[in-house]
Amino acid sequence: MSTKDLDGNYRGVFDGRLGFGRKPCLLIVDFIEAYTTPGAPLYAPAVAEAAASTVPLLAAARAAGLPVLFTRVEFHPGGADGGLFVQKIPVLRSLVAGEPLGRIVPQLAPGPTDLVLTKNYASAFFGTSLAATLTASGVDTIVLVGCSTSGCIRATAVDGLQHGFRVIVPRECVGDRHAVPHEANLFDINAKYGDVVGIDIVMAHLASLAEGPTARAP
């Protein structure tokens, strides 16, 4: 099926838009050095590019006063808390406390008021306090960035929607190991679980928040 046929097949059925709600947050999923360090087993050049593209977005989120949250992966030695996930992907067992490749990339270093959650599985919601934390803060929209598009981003987008959050994915700020799963999962997220948009749209919205309510008045 061609792209034109695919778009036509989804049109009018899977092309709804959620848009931004009243209070967004920025959720940065697993932008750790394991994915951005050449020679590392998990290295993916597209992820390194996505992390670099997120730098101005993080600055805009801070300027707008958005809550900023990070996730990183960490297991106990041997990966007992990783269950079947680390059996399926044994390289994950290397992400233990003190492993340099498990650190968040320096250009996106968390600030003193940012929350860093440790997760053991794909979704940032599974086995973490993320949903309760966002709900308690009044957040209704997640600007979702990170890696990988076909794994942790997709899983987090699905769970985000299922927990009642609007999910906005700036496409320049997510990455994967290969373009095919990356594009396929962006298509699916946009069709069913959130809005995949250009970073310029997100930046413009955050700029309006930074300018105050009068800038958003019709």
What is 12-54 written as a DSSP string? TTS-------SSEEEEEE--BHHHHSTTSTT--HHHHHHHHHH
Q: How many CA atoms lie within 13 A of 173 on its CB side?
A: 27
Residue 13, phi then psi, degrees to nearest 5: -120, -50
Distances (CA, A) of 50 to 47, 54, 146, 150, 198: 5, 6, 7, 14, 12
Cβ proximity of 171 and 203 under 8 Å: no
> 90: which DSSP letter?
G
Conformation bin of residue 65: beta by default, left when phi > 0, alpha when psi is -120 to 50: left
Answer yes or no: 147 catalytic. no
Catalytic residue, candidates 25, 147, 152, 173: 152
Distances (CA, A) of 207 to 24, 62, 155, 186, 211: 13, 11, 28, 25, 6
Cα–Cα distance measured from residue 22 to residue 138, given in angstroms and rounded to the nearest whole number: 9
Which residues form the catalytic set?
A: 152
